[in-house]
Structure 1
Amino acid sequence: MSNINYTTRTEGQTKVYTLMWTVPNFVNLLETKARRELRTAVDARFQLKMQLLGRDNDIIEIYYLSPSALFLKAILTLCLKRFEERSIVMKEYHTVQANKWQYLATLFKRDIASYDGRDIFLLSDGSLRLKFQFMVTNDINVGRAYIPETQLSSDFESLLNDGLFSDVLMKSADGSEYKVHKAVLASRSLVLKAHFEHNTTECITNIVESPLESDVLFEVLTFIYSDKAPRVDDIPERLLAAADFYQLSRLKTLCEEALHKKLTVENAIETLQLADLHSAKTLKQLTLEFIKDGQSQLITKTDGWCKVKSVDLIKTIYEYIMTDDVDVDIK
């Protein structure tokens, strides 16, 4: 049976609710495919729910529910061994509807227990412990009239899909063509903006030749127009290179997050090399932390390690593992 500890405190006009949800023998629970959902008691200020999805419970979705409408900030933290914690998600202040389950985060089975049976994100006794913090404020009136969601993203995406009023043709490396707009491209990417400044070939011909293949270029254009990256979890490696090439910092961050989720012992070296190649500093730091956190001996036995040719990369790994300073500068 899972258990929950509940505390509250007040900070000015904000009330902070902290819930510690502990689920014992969590790996065994994941192997019990008949159990697809866990919930906390209904008599608390907040209810919590965990849904196990996929054929082998590979995906764990986390939800919460409030019995009344609130304006709150939600933080989910994973409690690890040795009293360490890892922040999973933070959702800034927003209005929460009453008695409606709110999605908070997704965990993956592969991140909780690795292929060799080591429990990465569990406590010493095999329990999964999640810390929820809900910061509730009365600074705004949560009962205000409903405001429709913005359509700006969808409206701009329709410009790409329809090609209306386009003034530039963008070609992929494999010959696909996209009708696009100078103003949109230039406002989102300094690299693309440079194509239309001064007396460039692109400025004269209104044709931009891209080195990207069509499937990647379309994803990049979708992000430029809509700020969405629907395939970031499918092709994060290729999108990271594209984001670096066109200097799309937010897309680059999304790719780093997706690659971090996929991090394993087997692909750690390749991920580190990719991060180094494209100056993905956050991903590089997280990968080095992964290697340092008890994984180094396993990683030296992988194919990726055997193929490393960069002395500087090996030196970086060695220096990071040997230092106790987790804030060491990563270049």
Structure 2
Amino acid sequence: MRFLGRDNDAIIIYYLSPYPVYLKSILTICLKRFEERSIAINEYHAVQANQWEYLATLFKKDITNYVERDKYLLANRSLHLKFKFMVSNDIKVDRTNVPEAQLSNDFENLLNNGLFSDVTIKSAEGNEYKVHKAVLASRSVVLKAHFEHNTTECYTNVVESPLESEVLREVLKFIYSDKAPRVDEFPEKLLAAADFYQLSRLKSLCEEALHKKLTVENAIEILQLADLYSAKTLKQLTLEFIKDGHAELITKTEGWAKVKSVDLIKVIYEYVMAND
């Protein structure tokens, strides 16, 4: 710490940190035994390394009050100050004046207006979308493979997709913006699409959406989806749901009556019986 001034009209107090920190400081003056008063409180803020930071100014007229003689001085004529610093290594920067990131919106606009597109992708119904090879290839190894080596797509610049228009549009929106606003509307179809194009984050979003919809009535259908598309997290959560007191009720549902996979029934049985 650094004190500027001693015999003059003010004492200016600075402090310095050898590391960048996120810090709150409190300066307290001790009046008498067990009697204190906080005279400066600086809320959490970013402190740079090795730069003097202002804490407070103590004026002589406040320390020595001529009405209440030596208001802040102790019996031995000393000034007793207490400093408290609460430090975090998680430096937070005030970004109130910084505009929000527009990258995802800008890329989504690129999809919407088709500007500088160099390839067309068609839905199962034949609807066309003007897209960009570089974007598709950077997001999906499956789509990237369409443009490598001597593939038909390299010459025609047309990609045939097995997805319906509604699903394909949502997949493209995710590829361009990393957002899937309609994932809760048809997570089953999007899960299949995410698995087909190997979009792991979209797949996780679909698993989360399906888990939120999990009930006794649809548990078997969701488990079959999870098994079919290798959605490991969803499969684990669904098995836990079945085991957690729902197994008997689920065996009475229509979904259970339609199960044809012996292997799936075996998986359920082994999971429910494990550790019982």
Into which bin does the TM-score normalised by the smaller protein fall? Answer: 0.5 to 0.7
The residue number in structure 2 matching 1:273 is 224
Shift of residue 142, structure 1, vs aligned partner: 4.6
Flag the 1:154–1:308 CA change in 2: closer, same or farther, 3 A. Answer: same
Deviation at 1:149, TM superposition (A): 1.5
Q: Indicate yes or no: 2:220 matched with 1:306.
A: no
Q: Distance in 2 between matches of 1:185 and 1:292?
A: 41
Give the aligned partner of residue 192 of structure 1.
Answer: 143
In the alignment, what sits opposite 1:228?
Answer: 179
Residues 168-183 of structure 1 mapped to structure 2, 5 A cutoff: 168-183=119-134
Letter in 2 for 1:313: L
Query: Structure 1 residue 298: deviation in Å?
Result: 0.3
AA in 1 matched with 2:217: E
Q: Distance in 2 between matches of 1:203 and 1:144?
A: 45
Question: Where does residue 148 of structure 1 map in the other structure?
Answer: 99
> 1:179 and 1:143 mapped to 2: Cα distance?
39
Alpha-carbon separation, structure 1, partners of 2:187 and 2:253: 22
Deviations 1:218-274 (A, max 9, x none): 000000000000110000000000000000000000000000000000000000000
SS at match of 1:169: strand
Partner of 2:240: 289
Match of 1:52 in 2: none
How far apart in 2 are the matches of 1:70 and 1:229? Answer: 35
Separation in 1, partners of 2:225, 2:45: 42
State the identity %: 79
Amino acid at match of 2:168: L
Shift in Å at residue 145 of structure 1? 5.7
* Counterpart amino acid of residue 260 in structure 1: H
Q: Which has the larger radius of gyration?
A: 2
Once residues 209 and 144 of structure 1 are traced to their aligned partners in structure 2, the CA distance between those partners, rounded to angstroms, is: 44
Contact 1:69 1:143 in 2 (8 A): no
For residues 223 and 70 of structure 1, the distance between their equivalents in structure 2, rounded to whole angstroms, comes to 36
- The equivalent position to 1:320 in structure 2, one of 267, 271, 274, is 271
Say yes or no: does 1:249 pair with 2:203: no
What is the rounded CA distance, in whole Å, between the counterparts of 1:253 and 1:170 in structure 2? 24
Aligned residues: 197
Deviation at 1:324, TM superposition (A): 2.6
1:74-122, Cα deviation, whole Å (9 max, x unpaired): xxxxxxxxxxxxxxxxxxxxxxxxxxxxxxxxxxxxxxxxxxxxxxxxx
SS in 2 for 1:237: helix
Separation of aligned partners in 2, 1:208 and 1:313: 35
The answer to whether the Cα contact below 8 Å between 1:239 and 1:255 also exists between their aligned partners in 2 is yes
C-alpha deviation, 1:69, in angstroms: 7.5
Q: Deviations over 1:46-85 (max 9, x none)?
A: xxxxxxxxxxxxxxxxxxxxxx8799xxxxxxxxxxxxxx
Gap runs ≥5 in structure 2: 1-20, 23-42, 47-86
Asked if the contact 1:220/1:239 (under 8 Å) is kept, the reply is yes
What's the TM-score, normalizing by structure 1?
Answer: 0.57
**1:240 touches 1:278 (CA, 8 Å); kept in 2?**
yes
Q: CA deviation at 1:323?
A: 1.0
* Distance in structure 2 (CA, Å) of the matches to 1:304 and 1:298: 11
Higher alpha-carbon deviation: 143-152 or 189-198: 143-152
Cα distance per residue 1:188-242 (max 9 Å; x no partner): 0000000000000011100000000000000000000000001100000000000
SS in 1 for 2:129: strand
What amino acid maps onto 1:306 in structure 2? Answer: A
Alpha-carbon distance in 2 for matches of 1:139, 1:284:
36
Aligned to 2:18: none
3-state DSSP of counterpart to 1:179? strand
User: Given the alignment, which residue of 186, 209, 215 partners 1:264?
Assistant: 215
Q: Which amino acid aligns with 1:263?
A: L
Task: Give 5+ residue unaligned stretches, structure 1.
Answer: 1-12, 15-67, 72-135, 326-331
Cα deviation, residue 139, structure 1: 3.2
- Alpha-carbon offset, residue 148 of structure 1: 1.9
Summarize the Cα distance change of 1:144–1:190 in structure 2 as closer, same or farther, 3 Å threshold.
closer
